[in-house]
Amino acid sequence: MAPVRVAVLGHTAETGGAEIALMRLLEALDPRWQVTVILFSPGELESQLRQRGIAVRVLPLAQRTASRGRAQLKDPRTLLLSGRDSWGFVGRLAQLLRAEQAELVVANTLKAAVLGSLAARRARCPWVWHLHDRISADYLPAAAVPALRLLARTAHGVVANSHATARLVRLPAERVAVAYPGLPEESFAAAHQAPPTPVFGMLGRISSTKGQREFLQAAFTVAAADPSAAFHIVGQALFNDHEYAKQLEDLTSQLDLAGRVRFAGWSARPEADLDRFSALVHASPVPEPFGQVIAEAMARGVPVIATAAGGAAEILTEAPDPVPAPSPGEVLRTPLGQLVAPGDPRGLASAMRWVIDNPGDAESAAQRASASARRRFGAASAAAVCGEVWSQALAAASPRRRRGDAG
């Protein structure tokens, strides 16, 4: 098939989950797709993409617009009007799309969708929204929700990272494809060996939306019951979360956990960190859109404790429909792992204690989870779903574009 030039847009060059998912996707794509990634700010992701042989362009957006967290994304219109240069940016982006001869635009983040959809329209390109975020008031400012749902209607294709994310777009099911973020082959590993004394770990960005605070509160209970238990927080604060990271260190001393909790910082080898855990704890107090680290732990046969909402619940129940969250303090055990209510340190503590008391059962669930991850989270299937949506978007847009060209 003829090669197609695709511009994938991302507003940030910090490597959060959506950016990691993107790199894995691009590596697994059919070579027919000739991708250039256009980032709206310079940074780490730029070199990471280049190292993988992926073409990158940086088109800087004013810092104050680029660095606004999703909490400031009150309304897509505000984004355009508040960043006084946003309109100018849309024009420059449209120009770049033309210069790149892009035939398809794929927006990988919310801000990229807001600005990229306008630029795509100017450049007469169809656009696809690859959604990694929940379009929902539990995740975004309420005012942004209806506007973003309207925006989704203008896309020529929508891919969501979970059924939970897909449902929130409020489009007919056939207009939203689900592609679970895929894991590369090396993520799947041989049997996990439980460490000799309990180690519970969180791995990923430090942020109030990820729940390191609830993890520490639960650690306090577990540490009192088991003097050998240790707790690792691996990862660093990105975006606007440095203040939260500082609060976590203060809380650790207040709870007298200094000798038991290890802040490991950014890790170059997250797989090795996962292998050291008795269980991975994924403590998001707000529903997680997907939760790649859960899939990564499963792929390595590491027991998982997660909060019963969004993608995390879907991953551990293997069911697209939402599960009722357990009551506070309660644990829902699925064949693949344990789920507790979001924002519930008591539930997290009892799930950790269950792992300590039932190591054999925890490891069996983890083995089942590893087989499930192999079936569901391969990079090739994610790439196939995306390729299909991209092809359909091109096909749907081409008669319109031909008419446009003729006129």
**Cα distance between residue 307 and residue 324, in whole Å:** 11
Positions that interact with ligand GLC (CB under 6 A) = 16-18, 21, 132, 161, 181, 288-292, 311
Show Cβ contacts of residue 26 under 8 Å, excluding neighbours closer than 6 positions. Answer: 8, 35, 37, 49, 52, 54
Instruction: Considering the complex, state which of residue 209 and residue 392 has its C-beta at the smaller distance from ligand GLC.
Output: 209
User: Least distance in Å: CB of 288 to ligand GLC?
Assistant: 4
User: Least distance in Å: CB of 82 to ligand GLC?
Assistant: 24
Instruction: Considering the complex, state which of residue 194 and residue 336 has its C-beta at the smaller distance from ligand GLC.
Output: 336
Instruction: Considering the complex, state which of residue 261 and residue 283 has its C-beta at the smaller distance from ligand GLC.
Output: 283
Nearest-CB residue for ligand GLC: 17
- Whose CA is closest to 382, among 179, 143, 232? 179
Q: Return the bridge partners of 178, or none.
A: 160
- Whose CA is closest to 160, among 127, 134, 125? 134
User: Least distance in Å: CB of 130 to ligand GLC?
Assistant: 8
Instruction: Considering the complex, state which of residue 17 and residue 211 has its C-beta at the smaller distance from ligand GLC.
Output: 17
Q: Are 314 and 303 in contact (CB under 8 A)?
A: no
Instruction: Considering the complex, state which of residue 20 and residue 194 has its C-beta at the smaller distance from ligand GLC.
Output: 20
Q: What backbone torsions phi and psi does residue 324 show, to the nearest 5 degrees?
A: -65, 135
Distance of CA 86 to the CA centre of its chain: 26
User: Least distance in Å: CB of 209 to ligand GLC?
Assistant: 8
**Cα distance between residue 128 and residue 114, in whole Å:** 12
User: Least distance in Å: CB of 68 to ligand GLC?
Assistant: 17
Show Cβ contacts of residue 405 under 8 Å, excluding neighbours closer than 6 positions. Answer: none
User: Least distance in Å: CB of 330 to ligand GLC?
Assistant: 24
Instruction: Considering the complex, state which of residue 17 and residue 347 has its C-beta at the smaller distance from ligand GLC.
Output: 17
**Cα distance between residue 249 and residue 252, in whole Å:** 5
**Cα distance between residue 87 and residue 90, in whole Å:** 5
**Cα distance between residue 139 and residue 148, in whole Å:** 13
User: Least distance in Å: CB of 295 to ligand GLC?
Assistant: 8
User: Least distance in Å: CB of 66 to ligand GLC?
Assistant: 17
- Whose CA is closest to 306, among 343, 356, 261? 343
Give the tokens for residue 399: 């008669």
Instruction: Considering the complex, state which of residue 290 and residue 354 has its C-beta at the smaller distance from ligand GLC.
Output: 290
**Cα distance between residue 125 and residue 74, in whole Å:** 27
Give the tokens for residue 161: 């990272």
User: Least distance in Å: CB of 279 to ligand GLC?
Assistant: 19
User: Least distance in Å: CB of 205 to ligand GLC?
Assistant: 8
**Cα distance between residue 136 and residue 388, in whole Å:** 26
C-alpha distance from residue 50 to each of 61, 72, 102, 179, 361 (Å)? 21, 30, 19, 24, 43
Q: Are 134 and 311 in contact (CB under 8 A)?
A: no
Instruction: Considering the complex, state which of residue 14 and residue 85 has its C-beta at the smaller distance from ligand GLC.
Output: 14
Instruction: Considering the complex, state which of residue 183 and residue 194 has its C-beta at the smaller distance from ligand GLC.
Output: 183
Residue at token pair 């592609």 = 179
Instruction: Considering the complex, state which of residue 249 and residue 388 has its C-beta at the smaller distance from ligand GLC.
Output: 388
Beta strand 261-265 pairing with 230-234:
parallel
